[in-house]
Amino acid sequence: MILELVYFAAAVLFIVGLKQMGTPVHARRGIVWAGAGMAAATLATFFYTYDGPTKLLLLLTAMALGGGVAWWTGRRVAMTSMPQMVAVYNGMGGGAAACIAALELLGGAGHSTGVLVLAVLGALIGTVSFSGSMIAFAKLQGWFDRTLTFHNQQWINFGVLGTTLLLGLLLLFFPSFAPLLLLFFLLALIYGVMMTLPIGGADMPVVISLYNALTGLAVCLEGFVLDNAVMIIAGTVVGAAGTLLTRLMAKAMNRSLRSILFSAFGTADTGTAVAVEGDMKESSAIDVAALMAYSREIIIIPGYGLAVAQAQHKLWEYAGLLEQRGIRVRFAIHPVAGRMPGHMNVLLAEAGVPYDKIHDLEDVNNDFPNCDVALVIGANDVVNPAARTDEGSPIYGMPILSADQARNCIVIKRGRGKGFSGIENRLFYADNTRMLYGDGREAITALIQELKSL
């Protein structure tokens, strides 16, 4: 009875915590509440399922190792590596659910057919989430090319998935047959890898949220297998949140989930896209600082390059100096900016930017025509006008921030190369755009110095 009450309290804390995370103002409080719920559920399970000193020692060792590694990595991870860490933790959750399923299937003689079905489904989904998340991590880490495609790839993928499902069906009749179980998990791992390999860098925010949803679903299914209420509730909450977030990310790119998973968007091949004409026009720090110093309204658009340069604190310092001159400064965030959902929001919050100065695409897009300067730092696809004008572009139809409609546009960029998705940005060649080349932090520092001298 006490265990069930603790599980119920933990479930309430999960839901309240998730609700609090719906706004940046209460997000920290939400994390604390959800964490308290998880701690309570873990401790209750620990004390009420005691089964001898040997298992106790194994549990304590696992908790110490897992908690120690998580604490160490969480303290040391750089903001640029946050998407990779999220991908790894997503994958670990799916892998844990798959391991639970493997143990239950090996002892499957005592389970009903319905429970075995849930165990097999949880094993498949959790394993795919694990291997797919590891590939997403490797792509984000830059360990290999962002996309890998080959002839008849999708048909081969479907073949691997179909074979895995067939083996899963056989496991319902022979769950304890170890070679069959091993082959099932091996093919599931391979399918997760092959499903993720062709997905390009521009789709990584969607992929991360999708695997988050799959991990939640796998945990939920294994909760039914173990008859564990807290796993069912936590898995359902995570799965539902991940599913909604995946839909939001896909909508922000005006793409279906099917096209994201099967079209290999983000490769260097732009198909029938119209060639970009003109030249990029370079400017200097003193000219940009002067232009912005005598503006009335400025909208700043951050992207992953800001995270790479670790320039968020300098950017906020620069924005503060502009505001001291009576200039209205706002930040515009595209839903898929960065490498994971909410990446830029987290980055700006870390620098202390007030929440009321950070605006979503829908809230700020109509204001660009009245904006004196749109400052783009590290962003690429989310400000590319080709999404509106070039039907041959891979990003055609994707909603973008209308930086090109500002009276002046300043782009801080490390070099003349293409962005992470490999697509040429028409904004950089526009008549009202000037390029300020260099590392983001160094460029903003130069702007601060020039602004103070005016």
Catalytic residue list contains 381: yes
- Rounded distance between C-alpha atoms, residue 336 and residue 359, angstroms: 14
188 Cβ contact list (under 8 Å, min separation 6): 98, 123, 124, 127, 128, 131, 164
CA proximity to 88, closest of 308, 263, 340: 340
Structure tokens at 139: 């792509």
- Rounded distance between C-alpha atoms, residue 409 and residue 374, angstroms: 5
| Cβ atoms of 302 and 315 closer than 8 Å | yes
b/e map 40-58, b = 16+ CB within 10 Å: bbeebbeeeeeeeeeeeee
Structure tokens at 75: 């303290």
208 Cβ contact list (under 8 Å, min separation 6): 83, 86, 87, 90, 133, 136, 339, 340, 341
Instruction: From the candidates 381, 390, 404, 431, give the one annotated as an active-site residue.
Output: 381
- Rounded distance between C-alpha atoms, residue 386 and residue 201, angstroms: 18
Q: First CA to last CA across the chain, in angstroms?
A: 71
Structure tokens at 109: 């003689």
- Sheet with 297-302: list strands edge to edge: 358-360, 328-333, 297-302, 373-377, 408-413, 433-437
For tokens 């700043």, what's the residue?
A: 300
DSSP string, 235-278: HHHHHHHHHHHHHHHHHHTT--HHHHHHS-TTSS--TTPPPP-S
| Cβ atoms of 157 and 144 closer than 8 Å | no
**DSSP H or E segment with residue 373:** strand 373-377
DSSP string, 273-331: PPPP-S---B--HHHHHHHHHT-SEEEEEE-HHHHHHT-HHHHHHHHHHHHHTT-EEEE
Q: Identify the three-state secondary structure at position 334.
A: coil
Give the residue numbers marked as catalytic: 381
